[in-house]
Structure 1
């Protein structure tokens, strides 16, 4: 019999920004109560994939039905970043953009209008009343060209006081969900899984794959294997380029400080508006702010940071397997090749399957050759399950203290597990 249990537990606070968390860590566990469970599989949703719970619930149900595995799906910190769960809002930068553009088209917004204090519905009512009809009339009279669309920017705010932390808190949420179930299993364990030997496999596509790799970086002792489909990476290389990489920088949330039309997560159009959207964040590109997203913040989030991989090589080594399409326009294949070359050089069991041939497109497992390949996560897990479990069984991982310290340019990051939860201490170097 398939069972699904909903959990709400305490999550960690944001140690980097020194913000106390208001929300609970929510996740679901799905398993077959008639089976002896050999593995705990965390299926990690991608950026903003909070809405398709039907797919996630059915995916977890089918994996638990077909395999002797329990499945965790986590609403990690900041994942609820799409409407209707996330609400449109306007911060000071959004307001400045909107008022500047409105003034430039000849319909200034009065100074006494405080857009930052409006609720989502109020914002849309005001924008439509004050600007939509005006733009339409200006087009009719020829004062604006017919295909003009007023550029504007809004922020999507997740519920419960959450925001875009980008990766770090999300990864720790996933790890802590796994640790909670591993230490409080409601299911029967397979005889080979006694004494804490329940296999832990982290599975994700795109941003979910990135988070899976971060889990292995921040808590390698809690991860037996990572199964990644076209996961991207937040790389420090963007500091050394003339342009920011659109697949990474624009999703952090503060790209609007530089170019709101280019470095945004998403955009939407109607006949009169070109709306650019970013996630709420407290990070900034302002180097004078205590919330400056400095090179150190990138380094801790870069799964391919060489010095960190050397530190990880001294810990029990997770197994890595990745499918990545060669022509990926969102997550460049060169980044993934470098990552797997470094993993192998540091003694990790790492297998990279580069998909480039149209013959691999079978319409079931792989459906196309674009980012993510339309891949069936059900088949991704099923096709690799026994292979991974055999690898884990053969991987003699020594025990270690559940603490890892990773040095960056300006900060020391210390991840440590206590009472079945991994937390972070972040200290600035003197």
Structure 2
């Protein structure tokens, strides 16, 4: 018999931007009531529909029933950053300045009794010339009053939940059975980032179409390139380009500057960090990945191939399924050749979990068990340190002296 429960724990404060966490970290598990589990799997959604609790409940229950795994879904920081799952579209100061220019340029008449986003956009659409190519920027404000830190805080959330599972009585399972992280797109990126921050904790990473270099459009997009937004909504007479609210900036004078160091710790392909992960920390992770060769805009295939080849050169087991022809579109596992290929999570798991579980028990020496201290030094000589304490994980940056 399988049950589904929801828990809360304390998330890590944002140590990079020095922002205190406001809300509790919520996560959900599906588990066998007889407590006979073959391992733990973290299912990490991206920013789309699969981030809904209802979808994840169905998927987690299926995994627990079908494979006997303790299945976990973490509402990681800023996960609800799309209108379909709780984010609110509005205009920040930068958006507002451009909006005023357009209103004046096209003599847009607004309804003074209704200045909602919807009303403003409808007024613009009525007033702009037909088939206009104007781009209007907007801001996505995630649920829970969160913001886009991008990657690091989100991966730490998964590790914080692993500690909480230990406190709930799953400590023996953590140390004796396989730990798996599985995700699509941004979720797959977080899964691979976990292997970097905790190189001896995750036995297997399963990813569908993750990017391996942090896309600037998701981090400082509005300052980076207004034409390459993370979410586009096409109106008849303009395009609404939306970006998740963030405190990061390209301004080198700001305390929130997205520096080379901030980029490098998020870059899975950074050669120095990869060598540290593989040689110094002796990473034990094996990888399974699906990727379309035609994915060049969201998660560039060539970057992924560079990452895969580096791991293979260091003898890391990596099964890389390249989808490159219409013959591979079966309508079940693979539905198209676009980003993420419309791939079914259940079918991906069906293709990977049996062999993973057959491989058996992990080494029993996770970073939690070893109380590891994992650190990476950047080109600016700043050191990111992730310390696995007895009861929690802590993170800090030691600046160059």
Give the TM-score of the pair, scaled to structure 1.
Answer: 0.84
Distance 2:174 2:10 in 1: 25
1:51 positional shift: 5.3
3-state secondary structure, aligned to 2:250: coil
Task: Kindly provide the CA deviation profile for residues 162-182 of structure 1, in whole angstroms up to 9, marking residues without a partner as x.
Answer: 100111111111222233224
Distance 1:42 1:372 in 2: 19
1:259 positional shift: 3.3
Task: Kindly provide the CA deviation profile for residues 346-389 of structure 1, in whole angstroms up to 9, marking residues without a partner as x.
Answer: 23222222222433332222222222122221122232123223
1:2 positional shift: 1.5
Unaligned segments of structure 2, at least 5 residues = none
Distance 1:259 1:384 in 2: 38
Distance 2:9 2:65 in 1: 26
Distance 1:396 1:50 in 2: 32
Q: 1:309 aligns with which of 263, 274, 277?
A: 274
The question of whether the paired residues in 2 share the 8 Å contact of 1:99 and 1:108 is answered with: no
3-state secondary structure, aligned to 1:163: coil
Q: State the match for 1:102 in structure 2.
A: 103
Q: State the match for 2:228 in structure 1.
A: 263
1:228 positional shift: 1.0
Task: Kindly provide the CA deviation profile for residues 25-68 of structure 1, in whole angstroms up to 9, marking residues without a partner as x.
Answer: 11100022135101100000012546533322111111111111
Q: State the match for 1:422 in structure 2.
A: 393
Are 2:293 and 1:293 equivalent residues in the alignment?
Answer: no
In structure 2, the CA distance between the partners of 1:391 and 1:177, relative to structure 1 (3 Å rule), is: same
In structure 2, the CA distance between the partners of 1:394 and 1:264, relative to structure 1 (3 Å rule), is: closer
In structure 2, the CA distance between the partners of 1:152 and 1:170, relative to structure 1 (3 Å rule), is: same
3-state secondary structure, aligned to 1:184: helix
Are 2:2 and 1:32 equivalent residues in the alignment?
Answer: no
3-state secondary structure, aligned to 2:22: coil
1:125 positional shift: 6.2
The question of whether the paired residues in 2 share the 8 Å contact of 1:226 and 1:319 is answered with: yes
Are 2:175 and 1:196 equivalent residues in the alignment?
Answer: yes
In structure 2, the CA distance between the partners of 1:40 and 1:257, relative to structure 1 (3 Å rule), is: same
Distance 2:55 2:173 in 1: 32
3-state secondary structure, aligned to 1:322: strand
Once the two structures are superposed, the pairs formed by residues 61-76 of structure 1 within 5 Å of their partners are 61-76=61-76
The question of whether the paired residues in 2 share the 8 Å contact of 1:149 and 1:274 is answered with: yes
Q: State the match for 1:118 in structure 2.
A: none
Q: State the match for 1:279 in structure 2.
A: 244
1:401 positional shift: 4.1
1:342 positional shift: 1.0
3-state secondary structure, aligned to 1:373: helix
The question of whether the paired residues in 1 share the 8 Å contact of 2:25 and 2:75 is answered with: yes
Give the TM-score of the pair, scaled to structure 2.
Answer: 0.89
Are 2:158 and 1:174 equivalent residues in the alignment?
Answer: yes
In structure 2, the CA distance between the partners of 1:319 and 1:397, relative to structure 1 (3 Å rule), is: farther
Task: Kindly provide the CA deviation profile for residues 386-425 of structure 1, in whole angstroms up to 9, marking residues without a partner as x.
Answer: 3223445476968744210100122210011124422210
Q: State the match for 1:229 in structure 2.
A: 208
In structure 2, the CA distance between the partners of 1:50 and 1:66, relative to structure 1 (3 Å rule), is: closer
3-state secondary structure, aligned to 1:57: helix
Distance 1:179 1:200 in 2: 13
More deviation, 296-305/386-395: 386-395
Once the two structures are superposed, the pairs formed by residues 86-235 of structure 1 within 5 Å of their partners are 86-107=87-108, 122-124=115-117, 127=120, 131-132=123-124, 136=126, 145-148=129-132, 151-185=135-169, 196-234=175-213
In structure 2, the CA distance between the partners of 1:51 and 1:312, relative to structure 1 (3 Å rule), is: closer
1:295 positional shift: 1.6
In structure 2, the CA distance between the partners of 1:255 and 1:6, relative to structure 1 (3 Å rule), is: same
Task: Kindly provide the CA deviation profile for residues 88-135 of structure 1, in whole angstroms up to 9, marking residues without a partner as x.
Answer: 2322111111112222224599xxx9xxxxxxx853266258x44xx6
The question of whether the paired residues in 2 share the 8 Å contact of 1:39 and 1:198 is answered with: yes
In structure 2, the CA distance between the partners of 1:48 and 1:169, relative to structure 1 (3 Å rule), is: farther
